[in-house]
């Protein structure tokens, strides 16, 4: 519903044989901004944000490797695989470099791109930031929980199972729109999703995070969103990244959990848009 009055196009790109769904909005020739969703999500995760950013950017949201309606190759997807797919997607669309906004896994992928392909990313906004380990035991427990909830939702997709998995993304469950649950349910009901889910979640088994030295080596501007009303692993990650990455700035937002861009879109836009305008060509 949020896109009903937003001029946009929906298409699929051939990314090294992987049919990749994407949405594009905003003026031709404007600086490019990529939206990278979270674990087993889809481009609809940014439904509250396309209209605002399309005023000044060429905004592109994509379904990441194996996610949404993008193809699901039969191999495990680790962080380098996700990052390489995004870069190859940029190649397919003729995008030399862009700024990126990532949520959770998406923020991790953005950091991995900055580390492995620094010339392809200009600046990065990290929401519910991941890719840094501050507590190995907490990281392990969280990974187990994600695998359990998402596997159950994809194994026997129902309104209740998908809704339960998604309500953990927001501080106030009543803010989660039924239409977003319906989109996720339809995605999880794809016959290919049950077998694909373990591959999507392979990165969560560990050993994929950037090292302290890699975080310290990142030279791009980073804005880290800290959801201060959700005292969990991701809040700790936000403070740790802000202290470690040399050009990172911290923004504290209230009234949200994992999906700050969805629960507090106006506050999120007010914080991130000036940062992106300053650091995107």
Q: Which domains, and CATH codes, for the chain?
A: 8-274 (3.40.50.1820)
Q: What percent of the chain has pLDDT over 90?
A: 88
Question: Residue 223: pLDDT above 90?
Answer: yes
The one-character DSSP state at 107 is: H
pTM over 0.75: yes
Please compute the mean of the pLDDT values over residues 142-171 and round it to a whole number.
88
Sheet holding 32-36, edge to edge: 8-15, 18-25, 58-62, 32-36, 98-103, 121-127, 222-227, 248-253
Band (149; pLDDT cuts 50, 70, 90): confident
How does pLDDT run across 228-250, given as a tens digit for each residue? 999 999 999 999 999 999 999 99
- What pLDDT sits at residue 2? 86
The average pLDDT across 43-64 equals 97
State the chain's mean pLDDT as an integer. Answer: 95
- Strands (DSSP E) along the chain, which ranges? 8-15, 18-25, 32-36, 58-62, 98-103, 121-127, 222-227, 248-253
């Amino acid at each position: 519903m949020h896109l009903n009055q937003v001029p946009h196009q929906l298409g699929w790109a051939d990314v090294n044989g992987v049919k990749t769904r994407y949405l594009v909005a905003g003026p031709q020739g404007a600086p490019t901004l990529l939206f990278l969703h979270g674990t087993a999500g889809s481009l609809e995760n940014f439904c509250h944000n396309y209209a605002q950013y399309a005023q000044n950017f060429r905004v592109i949201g994509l379904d990441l490797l194996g996610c949404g309606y993008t193809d699901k190759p039969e191999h495990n997807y680790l962080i380098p695989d996700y990052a390489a797919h995004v870069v190859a997607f940029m190649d397919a669309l003729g995008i030399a470099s862009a700024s990126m906004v990532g949520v959770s896994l998406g923020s991790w992928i953005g950091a991995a791109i900055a580390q492995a392909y620094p010339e392809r990313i200009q600046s990065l906004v990290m929401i519910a930031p991941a890719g840094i380990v501050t507590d190995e035991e907490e990281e392990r427990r969280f990974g187990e929980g994600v695998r359990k909830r998402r596997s159950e939702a994809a194994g026997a997709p129902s309104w209740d199972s998908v809704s339960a998995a998604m309500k953990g993304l927001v501080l106030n469950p009543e803010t989660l729109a039924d239409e977003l649950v319906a989109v996720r349910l339809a995605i999880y009901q794809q016959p290919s999703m049950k077998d694909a889910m373990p591959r999507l979640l392979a990165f969560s088994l560990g050993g994929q995070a950037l090292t302290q030295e890699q975080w310290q080596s990142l030279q791009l501007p980073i804005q880290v969103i800290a959801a201060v009303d959700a005292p969990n692993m991701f809040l700790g990650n936000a403070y740790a990244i802000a202290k470690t990455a040399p050009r990172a700035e911290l923004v504290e937002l209230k009234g949200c959990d994992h999906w700050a861009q969805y629960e507090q879109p106006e506050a999120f836009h007010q914080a991130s848009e000036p940062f992106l305008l300053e650091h995107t060509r």
